[in-house]
Amino acid sequence: MNIKKYVAYRLLSSLFVLFGLSLLIFTLSRLVPGDPARLALGPMAPQWAVDRLREQLHLNEPIYMQYFYWVSNVLKGDLGQSLVTRRGVFSDILEFFPATFELVMFSVIISSSLAIILGVTAGKYANSWWDNIVRVTSYVGIAIPSFVWAILSVFIFGYLLRWFPTLGRLSAGVATPPKVTGLLMLDCLLAGRLDVFIDGFYHMILPGSSLVLGRLSQEARITRASVVENLNKDYIMAARSFGIPERTITLKNLLKPSLIPTVAVMGMDIAGSMGGSFIIETIFNWPGIGRYGISAMLSNDINAIVGVVMLTGVFFAFMNIIVDLITAYLDPRIMMKMKSG
């Protein structure tokens, strides 16, 4: 089993799963009480307009036909219209996704690096004062829901200490650089606007930390446990017995096998952070897919809800494949098992 076959296999099974997801979400959406056409046009519209819209949206046909139309639309890029923004859901998603992507990526990269450092140092010096600090804080960190930390951090760092801004992506009145990629940070760097970059960076800190606190704590714990387990393995003792320096042992022989469980969790965490972004973006008024999704959910904007869920599913599947590839690189035993299994 080589890489190409493995990726093909995973892509195929992801497609199956996404297909199943679309079935699930579509069925759920059609179970919602209320007439979608009436909701779209509003209570004042005349009945004939509603009936005509029903025809256009194929709402009178059996449900499997509706599903068929829906899928063919999706493949054309048409996710329907949002009740809230009155625009195509697809263009809404294109507009709002980069902000979420940026926030999630930024937070996850920093938190994962931190988690690894904390986990490895805590594990290597197990039962030291540092280890105890890491363990206690990560324990508490897991128990704090993201919204709780969001509110706490707004209170402490936003109001009491006034260190970081609490709302939005940029301060009011700050000019945005020309939109090249849609990723604010990247665009700032490309346009050379460092001042905007720093402003944007500051705005990411509070929402970002709320987004990843629980996950950071969990990853640190898992890394630490993995390091502690591997420290006593014979191959570490053997490496030491051959005179390999401690630093190499920690950074090479110990690190690679210890990261395997962490990476597995990390992939889930990136995708899970997209879920968390729904809450965080709402609290911090961050113009991303999460805020969009929540407002859609609170106003029963079916098309938008379905679009957002599918997007999340696609992103999740994509992340899982990447994580699996990284894990296979870290642990060659996986590929071997695939050969026989």
Partner 1 sequence: MNSELMKERAKRNWYKFSRNPLSIVGLIVVLSVILIAIFADYVAPYPEHAFVFVDFKNAKSPPTLKNLCGTDLAGRDILSRIFFGFRYSLLMAISVLSVATPPGVLLGLIAGYMRDTWVDTVIMRVADVFLSVPSMVLALAVCSMLEPTLYNAMLAVTVMWWPWYTRLVYGLASSIKNEYFIQAAEVTGASTISILFGEILPNCLSPIFTKMTLDVGWVILIGSTLSFVGLGAQPPTPDLGTMVSDGSKYIPSQWWISLFPALFIVLIILGFNLLGDGVRDMLAGD
Partner 2 sequence: MSEELVDIRNLRVYFSIYEGLTKVLNGVNFRVARGEKVGLIGEAGCGKTTTVKSIMKILPTPPAIIEGGEIFLEGKDVLKMSQQELQTMRRKTVSMIFQDPTAALNPVFKVGDQIGDIIKFSQLALKEKVTKEEIKERTVKVLKEVQMPDPERIMNSYPIQLSGGMRQRICIAMALVSASNLLIADEPGTNLDVTIQDQVLRLLGDLVKERGTSIILISHALGAVKGLVDRVYVMYAGSMVEAATTADLFFDPLHPYTKALFNAVPKLTGGGIPEGILGRIPNYLNPPPGCRFNPRCPHSMPQCLEGAPPFFDVGESHEVACYLYGGN
Q: Which residues of the chain form contacts with partner 2 (CB under 8 A)?
A: 232-235, 237-245, 248, 252-253, 256-257, 260, 330-333, 336
Amino acid of residue 303: N
Q: How far apart are CA 5 and CA 31, in angstroms?
A: 39
- Only one of the segments 2-10, 90-98, 145-153, 324-332 lies at the binding site for partner 1 (rule: CB under 8 A); that segment is 145-153
Nearer to partner 1, 37 or 283 (CB): 283
Burial class (CB in 10 A: 0-12, 13-18, 19+), 341: exposed
- Helix residue ranges per DSSP H, the chain: 3-31, 36-41, 47-56, 63-76, 89-124, 129-143, 146-153, 184-191, 194-231, 234-241, 246-248, 255-284, 289-298, 302-330, 333-340
Residue recorded with tokens 């999704």: 293
213 binds partner 1 per the rule CB under 8 A: no
Q: How many CB atoms lie within 10 A of CB 144?
A: 15
Nearer to partner 1, 89 or 308 (CB): 308
- Only one of the segments 11-19, 189-197, 205-213, 321-329 lies at the binding site for partner 1 (rule: CB under 8 A); that segment is 11-19
32 binds partner 1 per the rule CB under 8 A: yes
Least distance from C-beta 140 to partner 2, angstroms?
27
17 binds partner 1 per the rule CB under 8 A: yes
In the list partner 1, partner 2, none, the entry touching 237 (Cβ below 5 to 8 angstroms by class) is: partner 2
Q: Which of 20, 42, 77, 245 binds partner 1 (CB under 8 A)?
A: 20
Least distance from C-beta 248 to partner 2, angstroms?
7
Q: How far apart are CA 208 and CA 212, in angstroms?
A: 6
Q: Return contacts of 13-17, CB within 8 angstroms, 24+ apart.
A: 14/317, 14/318, 14/320, 14/321, 17/313, 17/317
Nearer to partner 1, 213 or 239 (CB): 213
275 binds partner 1 per the rule CB under 8 A: yes
Task: Give the torsion through C-alpha atoms of 11, 16, 17, 20, to 10 deg.
Answer: 160
145 binds partner 1 per the rule CB under 8 A: yes
For partner 1, the binding residues (CB under 8 A) are 16-18, 20-21, 23-25, 28-29, 31-32, 139-140, 142-148, 151-152, 154-155, 159-160, 271-272, 274-276, 278-279, 282-283, 293-294, 296-298, 300, 302, 305, 308-309, 312-313, 316-317
